Every structure is written in structure tokens, then in C-alpha cells.
Amino acid sequence: MSLGIDKYALIGKAAILYEFEGTVDKQVLLDTLPVIEDILDALGVDRQRKRKIVNIAIETLQNLQLHSYPLNGNDYGFHPLFIVGKDEENITINIGNLVANDERALLEDKIRKINSLNDEEIKFLYGVIMKQTVVKFSTKGGAGLGLIDMKKKSGNQLQFSFQKVDDAVSYFSLKITVPC
């Protein structure tokens, strides 16, 4: 692991309820969701919040699957990380993965713009993107819709950080907070 990189930078004082580190594929997604639902049931999370949290979990896992930096034999010592946590008042979903430094500015700008929108603007933007028939904002087909949906469902700012690993990649952390 590179000196000075904190994979748990955004966790804070949250208790970790579930953690997965490794390559995310469809099977990981299918195996993880029932576990998260069981955890939320055990915590007594109401049905509406549970649905929001599970939807955010799906979106974050898909982001790890689609947007993690391809290692191609270069093992930086970092693999996609997915964590469900809980503090006094919130459930948190935290992800971390490597991103190419040349994609960092675009991702950071996208999140900052999404965070600058109020609830009504988020709903409007979400609706506009959903109605468009051809949307291609990135080479992987995303228009930032997942990030918009996470902010919409959580009702909170998306917290994020980047930690430079080397000239090629940075470690990206994202935290989504949903009140219990």
C-alpha cells in the first residue's frame, strides 16, 4: 500500500456493519444485497429508508464494477472497497477505488456540481436525463445519473476525497449518508 493513503478516510466514527474489498462483479452484487437488507432489518430501519439505502448500495457497487481503474497486472495494493457503516444518526455507504488522474478533474467537477444543486434542481435534472433517449457523458455510458440519484435518495451532499497514489492514479473515496 502506498504511504499515506487512508482507504477509510471518510468513515469517521461510524461502526462498520459490512465490508467488502475486491473485484466487484454481478455475483458480488447479488450476494451483497441480501446481507445489507438483513443488516437494515436487524437495525429496524423502516421500509422506505431501507429501499433508499439498498438502491444507493446497488448504485455504488455498480460504480465500482464499471468505473474502477483497470489494474492490468499493476497491483497498486488497492482494490475496490465497499462499506456500510452506522453512526449515531445515519447509515453510511462508503466506497473507494482507484481512478485515473486524467479522469479525476471531471469526476470532481461532476460531484461538486451535483452537490451545488438543491432538492428541486436535483429532481429536475434527474428527470431531464431520464427523458433523454441518447445520453453519453462518459466513455462508460454514464451521465452522472447514479451520482444524481444518490444525492436525490440520500437528501445529503456526496462527500468525497482523492488521495494521489502516483502520477497515473488516485484513490477516490465517496460517502453517502442516509438518516436512520
| Per-residue confidence (pLDDT) for residue 1, from 0 to 100 | 46
Residue 126 dihedral angles phi and psi, to the nearest 5°: -60, -45
Tens of pLDDT, residue by residue over 151-164, are 999 999 999 999 99
Tens of pLDDT, residue by residue over 122-146, are 988 888 887 774 544 444 555 578 8
Domain ranges in the chain are: 15-179
pTM: 0.89
| Per-residue confidence (pLDDT) for residue 143, from 0 to 100 | 55
Other Cβ atoms less than 10 A from the Cβ of 13: the count is: 7
Find out if CATH 3.30.565.10 is the number for domain 15-179.
yes
Tens of pLDDT, residue by residue over 56-77, are 999 999 999 988 887 666 668 8
Tens of pLDDT, residue by residue over 20-68, are 999 999 999 999 999 999 999 999 999 999 999 999 999 999 999 988 8
